[in-house]
Amino acid sequence: MRRLPPLHALRAFEAAARHLHFARAAAELHLTPTAISHQIRLLEEILGVKLFHRYPRPIRLSAEGAALYPVLREGFDRMADVIAALSEPDARRPLTVSVTVAFASLWLMRRLPALRNEAGLNLKVEADNQPVDLSGGDVDFAVRYARQPGPEGHWLALFEDRLVPLCAPDLLCRHPVARDADVLGLPLIAYRWSGGRRPRQAGTAGRAPRGFRRTYRRSRSIFPRKFMLLIPRLQGRVWCLHPAFWPPHPLPPGN
């Protein structure tokens, strides 16, 4: 067990030794010069040594005081640094954002270097299609599609999106499209949400256009992941609905 003098007496001595002036030490610690003098005398009684030569003025450290002062100064400086680090937000801790796999790969990742360099953001990206609980864990904020803001947290609209049909040119040669409704007659692919729920048209949301559900029931290709839809589409076999805000993966020439 450490046997140390009272902390307030050590603080009073360290401040007085640093300023070599009782009144200035008292002002720093919000005490009176008399209180500083009493605490230093208490410390001298506990240690059994004189820490200052008080006369003739100005005061100066004794040999014992000169030995004790740098030890206390370093100790209080280290304590102040650690307390400041614990009390203030750590700028080195990354800001964790949860996004869907598609949003990360098709929009965010290519902009991430600029966000880090120009805005000075230290971002950690977690790509997951599952909902995230912001009330606990390490995730600071999330980017998700939503019709309306939810009841919890602070919501900020980033952009609105729309869906456009995509397919390879070869498919249009075999199945010409003269009007929008003709798209519904093309072979359609769908992906299945994780969790075993029913398949959903690639990128669709909201009210389906007339005849869409009937076309959906004729779908023959169902994939477990949204990015796998690009493979048969590029091979010219099917079409899909894709968000217009970001492009699909880089397309080969002629697609």
Res 234 pLDDT > 80 = no
DSSP annotation string for 195-225? TTPPEEETT--SSPPTTHHHHHHT--EEESS
| CB atoms near residue 231 (< 10 Å) | 14
Amino acid at 1: M
Are residues 236 and 221 part of one domain? Answer: yes
Q: For residue 64, tell me if it sits in a domain.
A: yes
How many helices (DSSP H) and strands (DSSP E) are in the chain? 9, 10
Q: For residue 70, tell me if it sits in a domain.
A: yes
Q: For residue 253, tell me if it sits in a domain.
A: no
pTM, rounded to two decimals: 0.46
Q: For residue 250, tell me if it sits in a domain.
A: no
pLDDT in tens, 74-121: 999 999 888 877 766 555 677 888 998 878 887 888 888 888 788 777
Domain count, the chain: 3
DSSP state of 52: E
Are residues 178 and 220 part of one domain? Answer: yes
pLDDT of residue 47: 95
Of 65, 87, 109, which one is at a domain's C-terminal end? 87
Q: For residue 252, tell me if it sits in a domain.
A: no
pLDDT of residue 205: 34
Are residues 237 and 210 part of one domain? Answer: yes
Contacts of 39 (CB under 8 A, 6+ apart): 6, 8, 9, 12, 13
Tokens 């307030």 -> residue: 8
Q: For residue 220, tell me if it sits in a domain.
A: yes
